[in-house]
Structure 1
Amino acid sequence: MSRQRVISPVVNLLRSPDGARDRQLLFGDAVNVTETQNGWSRIIADKDGYAGWVASDQLGTEVSDTHWITAPATHAYAQPDMKSPDRISLSFGSRVQVLSEQGRFLETELGFIPSVHAKRRETRFSDPVAVAELFLGTPYLWGGNSRLGLDCSGLVQAGLLACGLACPGDSSDQERELGKVLPAGTKPKRGDLLFWKGHVAWVFGENMLLHANAYHMDVTFEPMDQAIARIDKQGDGPVTSHKRL
């Protein structure tokens, strides 16, 4: 077993070498490599224990990150100047090592990142729903974990990890491991989670959900009663649990 990190902006975590995508990893995510074969590495992600396969050339030497990206997305520029060429884009949650501060920019191995888009590694948000709201309009993507695309469980995980709260990657595991089940008829409040078979949504406020869903194909608000009726009507059944963190 060896320690490495992700060195591409977004990396698909596959079920098998060259197989189906289960989740995604972001630049700077630390992993344990447990096996390599024919250009593929089987890894276990530090952030949630998710295991799968990634292309070996998307991994590199582990370094100590100092900051993480707290804007929905950012660019790394060739110079500490927003008019200089942009080299690469990074998503919320990506981890970088800052080498120096240059005015309004942070120097990293990738280039210069606006300092307003990153915080020190120990920084945590306090409201996971507010974090999820940053992703409004992000396209739905099965197994997605970045600003380029998210699924329902990816949106929940992004919010909780940003607040320093452990969260598995799949909605079935989230339903089993997160929070406490509330009795039927309990009035939902902001920050609760509603689960269906294969789906999860944040309670944003009174009769309002915030979720990444394949019906709207993006991260969106939807009236709670409307979503419950729609999901049942489309054949995915009723709410399976209402949980509070």
Structure 2
Amino acid sequence: MPDLDRRLNACRDDLADARLKSKVTAARFVEGAVRRVAQGIAPLRKVPAPGTQLVSELLLGERVRVFEEMDGIAWVQSETDGYVGYTDSAALDADLRPPTHTVSAIHTCLYPEPVIRAPSIGTLPMCADISVTGTKGRYAELATGGWVPVQHLAERGVFESDPVAVAERLTGAPYVWGGKSSLGLDCSALVQLALARCDVAALRDSDMQEATVGEPVAFGGDISALRRGDLVFWKGHVGIFVAPERFLHANARDMAVASAPFAEVVRYIEEAEKQKVSAVRRL
């Protein structure tokens, strides 16, 4: 049988997703149970050990399929982008009511009551899905408790039209490998979040995005071939072309979402990483 990408297919030698029964060999297959991410941000790790390297993050309201739970750790697959990994069982619940709104701000605060002087009791990231039961003044009440500012929300199904503008709002957010929020994110998460707010689904990692997002653009090094919003890829890296003097990317040089002249970025990556542009994709 052909090898499957285990980032996107829940398969181990001892256990696998029942949907893969004809594609992989495993000692046992399970259907898995659908659960909801019940906290603002939950870690998604490569191995079942707290404090180990992130491969991604799960956001409030996201659905996951749980294939195994052991010692407080759940082996899951996101139903948003298909990514597989280990998260904390305590971050999940069985509340599958349909969300009514999505956080459209880069993040918002959760308050215990709808008053301006109330202390924040949590942070909800961009693209978190929530169920709103009502409003009072400038605040929306969540079905799960707490209040958030209505101006930080968008109704489900209401999207933005400019991924570049969304990405620019995240300028200055710290760089975190595997992160997927304004509190810390990596290069492909910046692209994924910006596209998600514009109703464009994208897979999680840069190599996946390079193979699937938009259409390829022939690029031989001439900046004039690029347009605003083009995604430019190197092996293991991606950013968003805005203008010749403004290339936006989450990167480890700045340890943040930052912009620089495109030619400078190309030169730096070629010198420091020995990598040339591998592809350009256009939506």
Q: TM-score, normalised by structure 2?
A: 0.84
**8 Å Cα contact 1:26/1:93 also seen in 2:** yes
1:158 corresponding residue in structure 2: 193
Corresponding position of 1:79: 113
> Does residue 15 of the first structure (1) align with residue 46 of the second (2)?
yes
Structure 1 residue 40 corresponds to structure 2 residue 40: no
Cα distance in 2, alignment partners of residues 149 and 195 from structure 1: 21
* RMSD, matched Cα: 1.2
Query: Is residue 112 from structure 1 mapped to residue 143 from structure 2 by the alignment?
Result: no
Larger radius of gyration between Structure 1 and Structure 2: 2
Give how far 1:77 is off. Answer: 1.1
Q: Is contact 1:132-1:159 (8 Å) kept?
A: yes
Question: Residues of 2 paired with 1:146 and 1:159: CA distance?
Answer: 11
From 242, 245, 248, the equivalent of 1:204 is: 242
Q: Specify whether residues 154 and 236 from structure 1 end up closer, same or farther in structure 2 by C-alpha distance, changes over 3 A only.
A: farther
**1:20-35 equivalent positions in 2, closer than 5 A:** 20-35=53-68
Cα distance in 2 for partners of 1:79, 1:56 equals 28
Kept in 1, the 8 Å contact 2:244–2:263? The answer is: no
Give the secondary structure class of the aligned counterpart of 1:172.
helix
SS in 2 for 1:12: strand
Report if aligned partners of 2:73, 2:89 keep a CA contact under 8 Å in 1. Answer: yes
Shift of 1:37: 1.9
Secondary structure of 1:65's counterpart equals: coil
Q: Which runs of 5+ in 2 are unaligned?
A: 1-31
Q: Does 1:101 align with 2:135?
A: yes
Provide Cα deviations, 1:127-171, integer angstroms capped at 9, x if missing partner. Answer: 111111110100000011011001000000001111111100000
Q: Secondary structure at the match of 1:4?
A: strand
Q: Amino acid of the residue matched to residue 14 of structure 1?
A: R
Higher strand content, 1 or 2: 1
User: Structure 1 stretches of 5 or more lacking a match?
Assistant: none
C-alpha distance after superposition, 1:171-207 (max 9, x if no partner): 0111111122222346111110110011000011234
Identity of paired residues, percent?
36
Query: Quick one: higher RCO (CA 8 Å, sep 6+), 1 or 2?
Result: 1
Equivalent of 2:125 in 64, 83, 91: 91
